[in-house]
Structure 1
Amino acid sequence: ALVAAWGVLDRRLSGRTRVLLVAAPLLWAVSYGAMTLYGHWSAQAYGAAARLASGEATGGESPNSRLRIWANALQLIAQQPWLGVGWGEFNVAWSLTAFPGRPTAFFDHTHNLPLHLLAELGVPLATAVMALLGLALWQGWRRARATGGERGTTAMTAWMMVVLVGVHSMVEYPLWYAYFLLPAACAWGYALGSNDAADDASIAGAAPDPDRDRGRAPWLTPLLGVAVTLGGGLAMLDYQRVVVIYAPGEGAGSLESRIADGQRSVLYAHHADYAAATHDQPLPGTALAFRRAPHYLLDTRLMMAWARTLAQGGELDAARTVAQRLREFRNPDADEFFAACEADGPPPFQCLPPAVAWPWRAFLRAELAGPNVR
């Protein structure tokens, strides 16, 4: 609809372009219908249709609908309105907070950009950030609109790309992926950089100001390009330190040594932390793993391993709190973990409620790897 509205309202576009933009919703509907029919005839699942049927994206009966995670996010905001849960801490805060009837999937994002900022940054700071984003969006539109010619059309196209990513961010989190974030940032910068002095001169047919670029180092752009290229190569090499944990080649060494090396990764150590935390036996890096891994994504395996380690370390209330939160997810992968509750004899720790339930922040303040783990 946004693309069609652009085609209707922007008279600077060529007639052919405007027709294509206005026809975009119809083209989408035809493509959707064709893919649905093809999936029916070939007995193959069509992802978009399956998601709509499940109700996840529309607020239907699915336990993982957007409305459910948004309701949980609003409760977290109400509990911590001023400072939020902290940047990057939504998953651990949400996973370790009691939410009866919670979604069964492990969410690390609210799937709504304003809600996510409010939950993690708190109302005051998130409001300021969103106001600045809104101002930058308005400035991008104003400058793109004021730029004439082909450059103006390109700038408006860039601005529309940002708007579409913003709309997508109301139900997903594309900006948490580099292949959405970086193009959106480049497009936004392009729109904001339009209608400057050089553009005005070009539009008017005059020569650009020769003093405009004076003082700019001509070597800066190539240097930045080289730095980005080298940084990408170093990041790839760093990633290989954790790849070998899960896909070892010949002569890769023992699993324990690969995990230890992966935990020294600059960018990807959390993958090695997960492997260390969920390993069958305590490793030298297990304590470090439990201090860092829960900040990335708590899932069934990690919560079971964490609860067991806490219980072994004597932190029974903490262990039972983690087990209690895990039970709320109703995940089949945890059935074996809780099967002991149906057996005869004294119930293990995961079958009993904590004498005092731990709030989620208490897990971050304490040394929770357990004294028996080294």
Structure 2
Amino acid sequence: MSSISPKNSLRQLVWMTLALFLSYLSVAMAMPAVAVHVSQTLGFGNVLSGLAVGIAFLSTILSRGWAGRLADERGGKVAMFRGLALYAVAALLCWVSSLPALRHDLTSYLVLLAGRLLLGLGESFALVGMLGWSMAAMGPARSGRVMALVGIGMYGAFAVGGPLGLWLLEDLGFAGLMAGSIFLPLVSGLMLWRIAPAISNQGRRSPFVQVLGLIWKPGAVVGLQGVGFAALGAFFPLYFLAHGWQGAGYGLTFFGLGFVLVRLMAGSLPDRIGGAPVALASLSVEALGQTVLWLAPNPALALVGALLTGMGCSMVFPAMGLEAVKRVSAHLRGTAIGGFAAFQDLAYGATGPMAGWIADHFGHSRVFMVGGLAASIALLLTWRLRQDGSAERASKVGVP
């Protein structure tokens, strides 16, 4: 455990969050740009565009347990630096996919998929490593605040990276965008190089499946919450282009603004009042935002829907993440975070191709109807989770 004072550890966490923001730009800039590149440059349909966006989450899902165990056993710093290195190599592969020397759209697409898979692996190690490193330094009492601040770095990157990625795509092409993405994680690594590692207390290791059994309920909630964000991230630009509206690149910006605003205002709420009440309010707002997107008659109202979606998604991960880490011992927090995040990854990975199929058959707006339904189901599950928790606490009253 780190011996850094609380004041200095908070300053250090802010610096680490800034480094995460820079590295995550390589993820955020690519998310809408890949969908447009596959659809318009390579000439493939919505399903393959969604697959190119969502396939990154396949390797993320499969590697969360590995990343969590590495963070628990060797420290979050080791895991995070492995993730940053993979970010750079993934961006290099995506750059190679755009080279004219390949001379075949299918070959370019397959190389792009390989890069996206590697990017997902890097995301797994970077995020779990960052969370494990930060929580070990800050202590368990501030786990909710750590997850809230880390989320600001991630989704702040989405707010900036969405329009920036589409602008670079238009101005420099896909190759130029990917070339820039190679260097961002390297800068982050230089920022974090001299910060001391922090490792939680050691103890008996439990199988990953056993940890999943303890955290699956909050994991299911965060997974359903992720459908709305994944749909917005992958298909908001195509949704606007299909309607002939201007401002396609600002969906993630409005989402990110709402997300960061709520994190700044309510980041400490899960630590203070518990995760379930915060998640109930958040999921209600997300469901509203997705409904507004589904029914929006003009681009201004669609951007309001993106803003509300960001505000609603903002606190679900730290709220349910706090519920998840409370279910395991301190030395298993990295594994628990990895397993918990895998539920959200599963939603992200499945949403891309599923939303592409829905867009092809029923129109782009129906994608957000599905996102609203998923948030509503998550709302019901959270209510049940809260009821179960209340019953468990009540059963312990008077027990010696």
Which range, TM-score by smaller chain?
A: under 0.3
Q: Looking at secondary structure, tell me which structure has more helix per residue.
A: 2
Q: Rg: which structure is higher?
A: 1
* TM-score, with structure 1 as normaliser: 0.25
Higher RCO (C-alpha under 8 Å, 6+ residues apart): 2
